[in-house]
Structure 1
Amino acid sequence: MKDPHADHMPSAAHHTAHDAGATTGSHEHSIAPAPIDHTRIDHSPHEHALHAEHSGHLSDDDAHDDHAGHGGHGGHAGHGADHVAQFRKLFWINLIIAIPVVGFSGMFAMLLGYTLPSFPGANLIAPVLGTVTYVWGGRPFLSGAVSEIRARKPGMMLLIALGITVAFLASWGATLGLLHHELEFWWELALLVVIMLLGHWIEMRSLAQTTTALDSLAALLPDEAERVEGDLIVKVAPTDLAVGDVVVVRPGGSVPADGTIVDGRADMDESMVTGESRTVVRSIGDTVTAGTVATDSGLRVEVAAIGDDTTLAGIQRLVTEAQNSTSRAQRIADKAAGWLFWFALAAAAITAIVWSAVGSPDAAVIRTITVLVIACPHALGLAIPLVVSIATERAARGGVLIKDRLALESMRTIDAVLFDKTGTLTKGEPTVTGVAAVGDRTPEMVLALAAAAEADSEHPLAQAIVRAAQDRNLTIAQATGFSSSPAVGVTATVHGEKIRVGGPHLLHEEGVFEIDAAETWRGEGAIILHVIQDGVVIGGLKLADEIRPESRDAVDALHKLGVEVVMITGDADAVAQAVSKELGIDRVFAGVRPEDKAAKIVELQTEGKQVAMVGDGVNDAPALAQANVGIAIGAGTDVAIASAGVILASSDPRSVLSVIELSRASYRKMKQNLWWAAGYNLISVPLAAGVLAPIGFVLPMSIGAILMSLSTVVVALNAQLLRRLDLTPANSTQTILGR
């Protein structure tokens, strides 16, 4: 039997907006948007390597070369915790070795005024253990220097290696009597290596925390799944599941793979995807994501995607891809680090020449080593990547997936946000927004009778009517004799009376007139259905695409930030203006065909605006690509996601505020770190060279090493402050609105 609602459809045959000549975009009236799928994006080849080679701290292939060295840091990729353990071990062992090196160093004894013990071999303790410190403790820096030389991209590791090598050779020269005894630097060398290892340990731990936080997404999956095999339930590893398998999810258990609920109903904790702590009800036919938790009751789920095809795997790839993409700020940092290497080398050469020229060759060596050590731009290498790593990880936990770091940087400059209406500002499904009754009937009576007549229909408008009655806790009577008539409506017998629900053709067929409210509703672009009882109009129903309750806060918060809010839709102007008026939107583009959306972006850009486009449909893809920042929202399609730089895991429009807040906070941290790292070097190098020696101030080499490591620690700790951001959509919006 044919469903009755040709007349219920938003079409000219039905009424309302399209009576006014609305143009329908290809997804503007889609009732059920496809669930988000993060799996079909072409990912960069770096997606499997996070921070490779202290990688650094860098992001693209060139950047990998830049810090290839950090050699001892080896690939952080997937091994962050291993490198933390290695540097911790190196630090503690070399600290223990450094104690006798310092204690038996002749120059250190002379400085403190004590006499060295005179047992056989005492004079070899400092040189032998100092050599162990240089070879073993200094190995990460020496191997990193070799990598930088091979890559023809000298950097911080080469500076460190030069400093400790000069100190090592000078110390052996002094020990063997070939050089002045004041050039015996064993104690300085040991402390320098220990301090450098401490700085790198702290740095590695900072990076590993970010990597671990990302890896923790994988830990959301259960260790085993319960697969239904006939009458049996068999425990298997999630990796052994196949598409089509049915699995049991116990109360409090995690979903092992993406799928569709085939039995049961539960409140699902989806915070790992959306960032929101509030649970969401999911029942038969709804999709669930791997890693989400059924909090209160059990489910049976038919597996739809496994392994790398799951949403969770897609999120991990997106976050990794973002952390490995290059940003403008990163390129500036890389260039600055390169210049600082040559600046330090030139300063060291000038220092050696000047101090030698004034007759102090010993001081020349000391000052040169100090310059090489203190000028190491290590903090600069960490300044940007650590901020980006933490920012993208925090964003993912807030339901914001950064696919392109350039998009994240650009969001802070956006001055116009263009929202697609259907599925973004609205829910993309019809909802009863008004009920009018005629005579002595009440709105509740009209709605209950309409719901009874529509109960056997599967049409979206019929389901909206039934849902509205259920939400109001109305009793829906059992109807009989259900029938439907295309382009007219439905007919059923309720309590022995003939009830009909339909659009304008039904009124014409019955020879009755529409209710008084119909004209006003039509002006608002609503869908209008009339309810007729035994040939008499007893009321009308107003249906519209329901506005998301979060949309108003999103618009208000954007206005408070000075951002213009624009809406674009394929709906008629009446529909668009009704939504615009309710939300307080600044500007509306109505009746826009899908292929013309990108042109509207260009129109805004020619006005000098930096535009962010928020959309979810296939027809939004060209506009998302054209915008300065494309944002695909929750229920978006694969095509929309592939065209966007930012993906919002939820369908909450307030998530846009989270992106802006994150962009501004990240930029502040990047700027602070760049100023600290570069400024520190520019100030400290002249001091290390001895420019204040004429007034009696000479910076000791060990203090120089401490300051260099301290600068790295400061940058790392400053970046860690980003972890305090709460990027859930509700919190970001409330913060901006000052509530």
Structure 2
Amino acid sequence: MSLSSSLDSQAPEVAILRVSGLRCAGCVRSLENQLKEQPGVNAAAVNLVTGTAVVTYSPNETTPTAIVESLNQGRFQATLAEANVLLELPTTAEETSLPRLAIALVLLILSSVGHGINLLPGHWPMLEAMIWHWGLATIALVLPGWEILREGIAGLSQGRPNMNTLVALGALGAYLTSTVAWLWPALGWQCFFDEPVMILGFILLGRSLEQRVRQQAQRDLRSLLALQPKQALWQPSLTASDRWPIPVSRIQVGDWLWVDAGEPFPADGTIVTGETLVDESMLTGESLPVAKGVGAFVLAGSRNVGAAVTLRVERCGRASFLGQILDLVVQAQNRKAPVQQMADVVAGYFGYGVLLLAAGTALFWGAIAPHFFPEITNNTPLLPLKLALSVLVIACPCALGLATPIALLVGISRAAAKGLIIRGGDVLQHSQQLDTIVFDKTGTLTTGELEVAEIHLYGDLSLETVLYLLASLEHKSRHPLAVAIQKAWAATNQTTELATVTELETVLGLGISGWIEGHYYQAGRLSWLRDQGIDSPPLAVETHVALARDRQLMAVVTFRDRLRPEAVSTIQALQAQGYEIHVLTGDTAKAAQQLLEPLGLLPVNIHPDLQPQQKLALIEEWQTKGKTVAMVGDGMNDAPALTAAQVGISLGSGTEVAIEAADIILTRNHLEDVLAVLALSRATFRKIQQNLLWAVAYNIVALPIAAGVGLPLWGLSLTPGLAAAGMAFSSIIVVLNSLSLSRAN
């Protein structure tokens, strides 16, 4: 095995798990700790809303299967997202049991009728009997409440109390106390069998409503998932006329698929027979169908709107363009903003704090309050217990745990539906602090579709030979200059095959060199050739590539480019919002200023003649001066600057290196999407702040009231049932507030 392959085998890999049993932020923290404790797991991030866990692990120490098997031995159950199957979200039926909710609501109604018997006409002795109310409470605990009791007690026994622990203790406490009071009436205690019924009924009703709102919040993400069909038509051979429907999960690279008109393409691939029109609007933003024939590449999720074609599969499942977008979106929701990390830490200890507060409440009202407020405590022996139970069930770690992930789900999913991939909550938080935005020129502010303008000859080579040699040197490069040279060579209609280049070397951002037919050729910037000791006349050339043979200048090729149509309006809008704009380019000062003149930037904001390390140095220099910098680029030489900037933004047409280095990817390649992604980032982060403020404020106000602070002042207290209703609906408010993002402009 080579050194490189050995290193690759030890490089960390990422697995995505679907997890059930997540109820609150305490569950999230508990699961993350369980995952991180497993051998070979380097990092783990869990999302409460989507029910996913993104795990980074060392493949030489563990496997995703081993991680799942270990996890399934506890109270959480996980399944592994397979490589050739797109991710799925849990359905409403998976998240909430409607039969349990129906039983709980029926019991709640019957209990309420029993306690309001005086309002009913006639005589109903059975509904007044205590055994009736005991039966309703028992059924409520055994049927709809059993899962809550089981998970809550399991969490408590493992030293990891969660929301279900608080609810279970509240319901069981009310039930057992009422049972004792019923069996031993001499104690003089009050029976309140209606409380466990109300607690469980309101909790399950709140969860059901919350899950339905979550489904609406997942609308944009589900619309992306819906782009891939469930089945594909498989052909045994290219010439076969029989076709077999197969699940998309069984598609393999190299398969032939028949795609009828009106059907979506089930995988990325190349058309091998037929011609058609392809609607790529959901993926690339191209509003009009694109004509494609044999040899054209199509994307999974795009729709065939012309005629039937045969497709050879190149990428499928999560490796397809659509699959990669979905993976990035899911991973983004599991990448937490610093503010969420803090909230998760608080929520992780929230259960312990509430248990202590409930114990303190019972102690205060049982041992201390009688000396100060005898008129309140003398005739209510169960007051300390009822207030402690109210504290348990009114506390809402769920709202705190949902505050960030539900806003991220709506914001990031909506962005993805518009072709904007935001890699995580930390990116959103950094985007709020930006004051400087830096653009690469070629391919970012410009179309990047360069074309050869002129060829200046300085030796005995013809124009065609210069293009032939340059195309041979650059034939594997996708740099805009190399692509322009290759197009110019193709336009000569020469049938000569390109020359074989030996000892090919590339100096990033400067040039390329190699041997062709016994001669040593160098192609690149004139300044680089001069540094190699090659004489050249002083030329005021713009964007160019100079060619030298055996250290003698042979030709200088100049190019022309043009600004993107939306470049001027985008820069002006960013300046109007107060951002400081800079442009980095490897072009000469004259060429850059002429091309960028319509942008209205000062010469001091245009930085020409830069190599990749100089771009990086400028980013770091601005950062040392206190600037918060975003870098927008698309090329391999932009990757260091994209990584160094607080927020890196890459166009979807950029190189894989640039896309990998970026925090935000604009898949539709529209420059004005920079404005859209910044606006959506601000709106999403505002929702996160509002949700956190509500969650904290709710608990700060609700817990003291439940603990009886209002009793001496206003005679105000909450029963455990009303406390449960408050807790259930506090989470719904967080979800509804986040859902308003989907209607924001």
Whether TM-score is above 0.5 comes out as: yes
SS at match of 1:427: coil
1:650 paired with 2:652, answer: no
1:582 paired with 2:589, answer: no
Residues 445 and 671, structure 2, Cα contact 8 Å, conserved in 1: yes
Aligned-CA RMSD value? 4.0
Cα drift, residue 51 of structure 1:
7.6
Q: CA, structure 1 residues 639+397, in 2 after alignment: closer, same or farther (shift >3 Å)?
A: same
Q: CA, structure 1 residues 165+611, in 2 after alignment: closer, same or farther (shift >3 Å)?
A: same
Q: Which residue of 1 aligns with 2:240?
A: 232
Residues 408 and 646, structure 1, Cα contact 8 Å, conserved in 2: no
Deviation string 1:317-362 (CA, Å, 9 cap, x unpaired) is: 1111112223212222223324544553344233323332423322
CA distance in 1, matches of 2:122, 2:581: 78
CA distance in 2, matches of 1:115, 1:173: 31
Output the amino acid matched with 1:724.
R
Q: Which residue of 2 aligns with 1:194?
A: 201
Residues 183 and 366, structure 1, Cα contact 8 Å, conserved in 2: no
Cα drift, residue 365 of structure 1:
1.9
1:172 corresponds to which of 156, 164, 179: 179
Cα drift, residue 725 of structure 1:
3.9
SS at match of 1:225: strand
Q: Which residue of 2 aligns with 1:618?
A: 636
Q: CA, structure 1 residues 346+50, in 2 after alignment: closer, same or farther (shift >3 Å)?
A: closer
1:696 paired with 2:666, answer: no
CA distance in 1, matches of 2:656, 2:272: 25
Residues 54 and 74, structure 1, Cα contact 8 Å, conserved in 2: no
Q: Which residue of 1 aligns with 2:315?
A: 305
SS at match of 1:612: strand
Output the amino acid matched with 1:192.
I
CA distance in 1, matches of 2:359, 2:494: 99
Cα drift, residue 375 of structure 1:
2.1
Q: CA, structure 1 residues 101+658, in 2 after alignment: closer, same or farther (shift >3 Å)?
A: same
Cα drift, residue 75 of structure 1:
6.5
Q: CA, structure 1 residues 300+555, in 2 after alignment: closer, same or farther (shift >3 Å)?
A: farther
1:416 paired with 2:436, answer: yes
1:637 paired with 2:655, answer: yes
Q: Which residue of 1 aligns with 2:304?
A: 294
1:259 paired with 2:266, answer: no
Residues 26 and 162, structure 2, Cα contact 8 Å, conserved in 1: no
1:101 paired with 2:111, answer: yes
Q: CA, structure 1 residues 79+190, in 2 after alignment: closer, same or farther (shift >3 Å)?
A: farther
Q: Which residue of 1 aligns with 2:445?
A: 425
Q: Which residue of 2 aligns with 1:573?
A: 589
1:146 paired with 2:153, answer: yes
Residues 58 and 385, structure 1, Cα contact 8 Å, conserved in 2: no
Which stretches in structure 2 are left out of the alignment for 5+ residues?
A: 1-10, 35-45, 52-73, 81-87, 371-377, 455-474, 476-481, 500-538, 547-556
Q: CA, structure 1 residues 311+724, in 2 after alignment: closer, same or farther (shift >3 Å)?
A: same
Cα drift, residue 370 of structure 1:
1.5
Q: Which residue of 2 aligns with 1:724?
A: 743
SS at match of 1:428: coil
Residues 435 and 628, structure 2, Cα contact 8 Å, conserved in 1: yes
Stretches (4+) displaced over 6 A: 57-61, 64-77, 112-116, 462-468, 479-486, 521-524
Q: Which residue of 2 aligns with 1:517?
A: none
Higher relative contact order (CA 8 A, sep 6+): 1
Q: Which residue of 1 aligns with 2:362?
A: 352
Residues 30 and 160, structure 2, Cα contact 8 Å, conserved in 1: no
State how 1:450-599 maps to structure 2 within 5 Å: 544-585=560-601, 587-599=605-617
2:17 corresponds to which of 48, 51, 61: 48
Deviation string 1:469-499 (CA, Å, 9 cap, x unpaired) is: xxxxxxxxxx99999999xxxxxxxxxxxxx
Q: Which residue of 2 aligns with 1:406?
A: 426
Q: Which residue of 2 aligns with 1:34?
A: none
Cα drift, residue 389 of structure 1:
1.7
1:671 paired with 2:640, answer: no
Q: Which residue of 1 aligns with 2:732?
A: 713
Cα drift, residue 678 of structure 1:
1.0
Q: CA, structure 1 residues 228+346, in 2 after alignment: closer, same or farther (shift >3 Å)?
A: closer
State how 1:213-224 maps to structure 2 within 5 Å: 213-222=220-229, 223-224=231-232
Cα drift, residue 191 of structure 1:
1.4
Output the amino acid matched with 1:353.
L
Q: CA, structure 1 residues 615+466, in 2 after alignment: closer, same or farther (shift >3 Å)?
A: same
Cα drift, residue 215 of structure 1:
4.8
CA distance in 2, matches of 1:386, 1:575: 48
CA distance in 2, matches of 1:250, 1:627: 46
1:128 paired with 2:135, answer: yes
Residues 369 and 701, structure 1, Cα contact 8 Å, conserved in 2: yes
Q: Which residue of 1 aligns with 2:467?
A: none
Q: CA, structure 1 residues 544+188, in 2 after alignment: closer, same or farther (shift >3 Å)?
A: same
Q: Which residue of 2 aligns with 1:9?
A: none
Residues 451 and 485, structure 2, Cα contact 8 Å, conserved in 1: no
CA distance in 1, matches of 2:20, 2:591: 50
Residues 280 and 302, structure 2, Cα contact 8 Å, conserved in 1: yes
CA distance in 2, matches of 1:673, 1:241: 43
Output the amino acid matched with 2:361.
T
Residues 159 and 373, structure 1, Cα contact 8 Å, conserved in 2: yes
CA distance in 2, matches of 1:428, 1:192: 63
Cα drift, residue 292 of structure 1:
0.7
Instruction: State percent identity of aligned pairs.
Output: 33
Which stretches in structure 1 are left out of the alignment for 5+ residues?
A: 1-40, 435-457, 469-478, 487-520, 529-540, 727-739
Q: Which residue of 2 aligns with 1:494?
A: none
CA distance in 2, matches of 1:300, 1:291: 16
Cα drift, residue 563 of structure 1:
1.4
Cα drift, residue 591 of structure 1:
1.7
Deviation string 1:184-228 (CA, Å, 9 cap, x unpaired) is: 111122111100001111223334445575354343223223548
Deviation string 1:10-65 (CA, Å, 9 cap, x unpaired) is: xxxxxxxxxxxxxxxxxxxxxxxxxxxxxxx97633x2336862466986776576
Residues 642 and 648, structure 2, Cα contact 8 Å, conserved in 1: yes
Residues 238 and 256, structure 2, Cα contact 8 Å, conserved in 1: no
SS at match of 2:562: strand
1:331 paired with 2:341, answer: yes
Deviation string 1:657-691 (CA, Å, 9 cap, x unpaired) is: 22211211111111111111110111122222222
Q: Which residue of 1 aligns with 2:645?
A: 627
